[in-house]
Amino acid sequence: TACDDELWWRAAIAGVVADFRAALPEARIYVFDNASADDTARIAKASGAIVRHEPLRGKGNVVARAFADVDADVYILADGDGTYDAGAARGMVDALWRDRLDMVVGVRAAAQEGAYRAGHALGNRAFSFIFRRFFRSNFTDILSGYRAFSRRFVKSFPSRAAGFEIELEMSAHAALLRVPCREIETAYGARAEGGESKLDTWRDGLRIFRRMLKFLRLHRPRLVYGVLGAIAALVGIGVLTPILITYFETGLVPRFPTLIVSIGILIGALLLFLAGAILDAQAQHFAETKRLAYLRAPAPGERETP
């Protein structure tokens, strides 16, 4: 019921703020209210958090606003539903600061039965596998929402995602810039009774998959257009080969329209290869621009304390 949801959320947000305050007493705790219809902001403020507001709905919009507004040396990002272990935050921050990392990912290990829905777990493994192959990274949980970041990662992160695909963007940003990262296993708990995840397995899974394809097209265009060009070239050669065989045997071209189509396909394949080469140069320029923005901020550990 609505009453149960409200009671669950009141307890969850207050508990999350208290847990992170206990784990990181020196930290500033921010809660970003994403156009909620309840009294999230009041509860968070009463719990000691600094409350900010983002009227555009969607996790990606919230993260973009938080990264733009909050100024810090080290950032910890976590959902406000109490599923992530706040006690792991100290270890994540210490690892990032001590080893001069730019991102530490809390790899989710289910601490309770039912914490990790089967569809979500399967989708995450599949996306992580595809990501590792195409982005040349070692991430095993690219969709984890529990992460620690350096200042230079946050201030060079050009977020475009509006929803749950924001974690994919973070992983891609780290992989494309080849920044130092690490994964640390953290406990992942079930939501309290009355709480329900807003993540839809199929709808959001499709959005994440589309986003991954877009990232490949934008950041590895030589691969994408090269594969499309190779497919087109094989089709064109397959269509053209019988015509050439007939021509060499008889000196005739009985299927002239088919010849035109095959040549058109081969020209299209060549254009795809050329487009991939041109867009690859543009992608390299874009990556260099992001790298320069990343290098402008100080590395973790250059100051005495986080």
- Residue whose C-alpha is closest to residue 136's, from 219, 228, 211: 219
Q: Write out the two tokens for 170.
A: 């973070």
pLDDT along the chain (306 residues), means of 10: 48 83 93 80 87 89 91 91 89 94 91 57 85 88 92 88 83 91 88 55 76 84 93 96 90 87 95 94 86 84 58
Whether the predicted model's global pTM rises above the 0.85 cut: no
Q: Residue 4: its pLDDT value, please?
A: 44
Residue type, 62: V
pLDDT in tens, 193-251: 544 555 666 677 788 888 888 888 888 899 999 999 999 999 999 999 999 999 898 88
Question: Rounded to whole angstroms, how far apart are CA atoms 41 and 49?
Answer: 9
User: Exposed e or buried b for every residue in 116-141, given b needs 16+ CB within 10 A?
Assistant: beeebeebbeebbeebbebbebebbb
Contacts of 158 (CB under 8 A, 6+ apart): 173, 290
